Amino acid sequence: MSATTPDTLRVAAVQLTATGDKAANIATASRLVERAAEAGAQLVVLPEKWNLIDVERRQVAGAEPLNGPSLSTARDWTRAHRIALVAGSISESVPGSGRAYNTSVLIQPDGNVTAVYRKLHLFDVEVGGHTYRESDGALPGADVVVGEYLSHRIGMTVCYDLRFPELFRALTVAGAQILTVPAAFTATTGKAHWEPLLRARAIENQAFVIAAGQTGTHATGTDSHGHSMIIDPWGAILAEATDEETVIVADLDFAGLRQIRQDLPVLAHRRADIFGGASA
């Protein structure tokens, strides 16, 4: 990091219950983002599909372009509060396809979008008595994306991506110090897997993880786990929500991150000659 890069960054994760009412969801997100800003957060992360969770037909119908009303409103929040925002994810319209991307964007305090990530891994599974077929209404992305804010590198993922450690390692090799996980993790899998997977991604990549989750019951009849978390590079949980609508806040210590990577140089010891890519 450069001499001008701040060694501490206050971050927040927003947790909410998105419904089929887009206007109401945006109003809720607006209120919670404001709460995060009032708590001093400089970087705020929203959950997956923060603006709309509905049955497939209405979810696809509610998809928007990147310059649509949801992200335009999110850009207004960043300018009003002078914060950076990982705008969770929205369904991004793909004209003529009948499907949408599950897309996360990084917005700077001036309202500019500087990174766009489209979810790579689609959630086609059967758990908790529900069959999920995300690919019926969504298209997979094709790129690993690292954004930047205040010279801190931010690796972008969405929900089910959490189960693919190779993505997180690729982000780390590309320089990520912060890994963001907007999610709507199911209540069934969340009880068993959410915390251990998040902590593992933080520990193995010696990076901060900001995981902003949905909570409660959605219009789809499915339940999300909640328990949003902010985790440090040692795997310690700095902040955790329960299962209510809330905001959690923590300070990220980048001097501590550098010390961990120096004292336990796992990333430097990575066998790039075997696994490809550069050592982090």
- What is the set of active-site residues? 48, 119, 159
Distance, CA of 172 to chain centre: 15
CA–CA gap between residue 155 and residue 152 (Å, rounded): 10
Count CB-CB contacts under 10 A for residue 171: 28
Contacts for 182 with CB less than 8 Å, ≥ 6 apart: 45, 46, 47, 48, 50, 86, 88, 89, 104, 158, 159, 211, 212
